[in-house]
Amino acid sequence: MVPDITEILSQIEPNNPAAADQLLPVVYSELRKLAQARLGNEKPGQTLQATALVHEAYLRLLGPKHAGDQKWNDRGHFFAAAAEAMRRILVEIARRKRGPKAGGHLKRVELHDDLSPDTPSDPGLIEISDVLERLEEQDPRAAQVVKLRFFAGLSRHEAADALGVSVATVDNDWAYARGWLKVELDRSIDGS
């Protein structure tokens, strides 16, 4: 019988490391799928593997320094926290790559047969993260809906359960957030 995730989460405390050890085998495959989905949205050239992302996120959530720091209400709440941890890890890596030591000021330009530069205008992870932080200041619940739906891959119903609101509220927040983010991302890409 597969142990209940919510039951294991309720047992995690600083003085009960066995519960955290018991959780990993139960959630690993779902965390790996989540990590693969997150990495699939990244630009080519990402060197981080899904396994490493899962392990780093898990350590941030339940490692020796963090065990018992946070309580999760249920499966959805835990996976939302895991998705947020993965997002932060990817943003940190992207920021490091943009740093002066990594040649971050230099832009890669690919030339095609016609020698015209290929300059994609899609926003990078850092820009999305920055815009999402601005949305969080303006409408925290809408930002949470984006994190749950986009980053954690939760359904409308799962996101509603995780937030303790109706599905209609999640749908409204999702529609608002998508429009707001599009306008802000377009603005940041255009440089205005």
For the chain, the average pLDDT equals 77
CA 49, chain centre distance (Å): 15
**Helical (H) or strand (E) element with 117:** strand 117-118
Closest CA to 185 of 134, 109, 117, 118: 134
pLDDT at residue 43 in the model:
64
Whether 150 contacts 131, CB under 8 Å: no
CA angle 173, 161, 150 (to 5 degrees): 50
pLDDT exceeds 60 at position 168: yes
Whether 126 contacts 91, CB under 8 Å: yes
Q: How many of the other CB atoms lie within 10 Å of CB of 103?
A: 11
Q: What pLDDT digit, counting tens, does each position of 79-112 carry?
A: 888 888 888 888 888 888 776 665 555 555 454 4
CA 108, chain centre distance (Å): 25
Q: What pLDDT digit, counting tens, does each position of 31-57 carry?
A: 888 888 777 766 666 667 888 888 888
Mean pLDDT of 172-189: 87
Listed in sequence order, the DSSP H helices in 3-139 are 5-11, 17-40, 50-62, 75-98, 125-138
As separate numbers, helices (DSSP H) first and strands (DSSP E) second, the chain gives 8, 2
Q: What pLDDT digit, counting tens, does each position of 133-165 carry?
A: 999 999 999 998 988 888 777 889 988 988 889
Scanning the structure block, which residue is given the tokens 């890596």? 93
